[in-house]
């Protein structure tokens, strides 16, 4: 039978004392971190749930930050748009006044000077920056000034003035994720907001016999449309109309050219796909590689808000009351109508963001409570358990001191 020695009793005592010390250290670590488990094996199921809850809570907090940032930008952009609409209201008043036909050419020239100053203010609003330095109406090119002023001489102005306003911003808009798989644009593109009329682009080439020779694509308002070898212009038209882009394609019955017309007031953004030249061959684009750089022979109509204001200024300088009260006033009304639509769009976006913020304000505390229930430590119970473990260890030491036999050192006293 096995021999029970004094060393074996001492080893057993050391083993169980180390077990108690490990348990004390683990409990102390839990109390320091205020978590129920020190490692995953303490409670695998609770640890797995806690990891999922923590990950989901982190995503909710990220969504909350996105909502707050996007909402601030939306409110700021809406404020600038309202200022622009107020200016356009004054521009329209000057257009109606100049169209009366009872003012002299000197009087209408004075009105044109005011219109020119209002035009400069509109450009300033369109190039507005947010508090982070990004341009609010530059689309996905937030660091690029969206509108560039071209100066020249207008008839009757007597000096250099604005003759064109070119859009240099991006063709898309950055989007923020505000919920799982739910995105909202962070701003509105300037060539949507500051536009007046539905644009129409007609190519300069006869497209009746056109065939796509290679696998390629075209981009219409940011939507990529795939083209296959052998596609005719009718197939291209059908794919554009089915793409969901706010553009209607057709074939001009007289010139047999491809015609693209916006279904709402905005600048149509056209681009050939990588390595393709379909729109260049159809006489729509110039081939420079710059999006919406139209071919010299392409017929383009439908201008921006700035074009409408400049047309009013020029007609007032010329003293042409008929032109002012006709096409010019119609252009100003179209610009105001589009601005109203964009304001409604910005307002509805802000309302949705506020609703999302309210939802997240409730959802985050709920998820935090669920995470706390799985992971957090009941501190009162933990302190009680710790004291009991200390008491048990002390009792073990006292009992071991009484039970272990005397050693040689006891006889050397």
248 or 24, higher pLDDT: 248
In the predicted structure, residue 395 carries a pLDDT above the cut 60: yes
How many angstroms separate the CA atoms of 250 and 291, rounded?
21
Provide the whole-model pTM. Answer: 0.77
Length of the chain: 413
How many angstroms separate the CA atoms of 76 and 130, rounded?
7
76 or 49, higher pLDDT: 76
Could you report the per-residue pLDDT of 198-219, keeping only the tens digit for each?
999 999 999 989 999 999 999 9
In the predicted structure, residue 51 carries a pLDDT above the cut 90: no
Q: What tokens were used for 341? A: 């639509």
pLDDT given for residue 187 in this prediction: 79
- DSSP summary character for residue 196: -
Q: What tokens were used for 83? A: 């200022």
In the predicted structure, residue 383 carries a pLDDT above the cut 90: no
Q: Taking the CA atoms of the chain, what radius of gyration do you get in angstroms? A: 37
In the predicted structure, residue 60 carries a pLDDT above the cut 60: yes
In the predicted structure, residue 396 carries a pLDDT above the cut 90: no
Q: Are 187 and 70 in contact (CB under 8 A)?
A: no
Judged by DSSP in three states, 90 sits in helix
In sequence order, the 6+-apart residues with CB closer than 8 A to the CB of 28 are 386
Which residue shows structure tokens 């306003």? 165
Q: Which residues pair with 164 in a beta bridge?
A: 150
B/e letters for 312-341, b = 16+ CB within 10 Å, e = fewer, are: bbbbbbbbbbebbbeebbebbebbbebbee
Query: For all residues of the chain together, what is the average pLDDT?
Result: 85
User: Percent of the chain, pLDDT > 90?
Assistant: 48
How many angstroms separate the CA atoms of 64 and 66, rounded?
5
In the predicted structure, residue 374 carries a pLDDT above the cut 80: no
Q: Which of 237-251, 286-300, 316-330 has the lowest mean pLDDT?
A: 286-300
Could you report the per-residue pLDDT of 249-277, keeping only the tens digit for each?
999 999 999 999 999 999 999 999 888 89
Could you report the per-residue pLDDT of 140-196, keeping only the tens digit for each?
888 889 999 999 888 888 788 999 999 988 877 888 898 888 888 887 888 899 999
> Can you tell me the mean pLDDT for 381-405?
70
How many angstroms separate the CA atoms of 201 and 1, rounded?
104
Question: Pick from 294, 270, 297: which is nearest to 204 by CA?
Answer: 297
pLDDT given for residue 9 in this prediction: 66
């Amino acid at each position: 039978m096995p021999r029970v020695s004094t060393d074996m009793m001492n080893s057993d005592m050391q083993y169980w004392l180390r077990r108690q010390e490990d348990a004390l250290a683990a409990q102390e670590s839990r109390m320091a971190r205020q978590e129920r488990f020190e490692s995953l094996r303490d409670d695998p199921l609770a640890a797995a749930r806690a990891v999922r809850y923590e990950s989901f809570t982190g995503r909710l907090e990220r969504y909350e930050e996105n909502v707050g940032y996007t909402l601030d930008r939306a409110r700021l952009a809406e404020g600038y748009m309202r200022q622009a609409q107020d200016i356009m209201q004054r521009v329209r008043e000057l257009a109606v006044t100049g169209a009366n036909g009872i003012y002299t050419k000197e009087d209408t020239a004075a009105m044109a000077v005011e219109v020119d100053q209002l035009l400069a203010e509109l450009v300033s609003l369109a190039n507005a920056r947010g508090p982070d330095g990004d341009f609010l109406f530059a689309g996905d090119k937030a660091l690029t000034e969206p509108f560039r002023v071209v100066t020249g001489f207008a008839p009757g102005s007597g000096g250099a003035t604005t003759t064109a306003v070119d859009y240099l911003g991006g063709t898309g808009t950055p989007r923020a994720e505000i919920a799982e798989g739910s995105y909202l644009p962070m701003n509105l593109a300037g060539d949507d907001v500051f536009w007046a009329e539905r644009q129409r682009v007609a190519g300069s080439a006869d497209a009746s016999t056109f065939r796509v020779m290679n696998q390629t694509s075209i981009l219409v308002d940011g939507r990529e449309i795939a083209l296959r070898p052998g596609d005719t212009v009718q197939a291209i038209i059908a794919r554009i109309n089915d793409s969901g882009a706010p553009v209607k394609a057709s074939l001009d019955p007289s010139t047999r050219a491809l015609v693209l017309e916006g279904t709402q007031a905005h600048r149509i953004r056209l681009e050939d796909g990588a390595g393709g030249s379909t729109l260049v061959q159809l006489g729509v684009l110039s081939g420079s590689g710059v999006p919406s750089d139209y071919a010299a022979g392409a017929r383009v109509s439908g201008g921006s808000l700035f074009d409408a204001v400049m047309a009013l200024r020029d007609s007032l300088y010329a003293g042409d009351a008929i032109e002012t009260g006709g096409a010019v006033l119609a252009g100003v009304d179209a610009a105001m109508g589009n601005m109203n639509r964009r304001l409604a769009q910005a307002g509805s976006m802000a309302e949705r963001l506020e609703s999302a913020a309210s939802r997240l304000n409730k959802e985050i505390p709920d998820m935090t409570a669920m995470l706390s229930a799985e992971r957090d430590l009941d501190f009162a119970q933990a302190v009680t358990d710790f004291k009991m473990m200390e008491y048990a260890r002390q009792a073990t030491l006292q009992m071991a001191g009484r039970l272990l036999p005397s050693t040689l050192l006891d006889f050397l006293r």
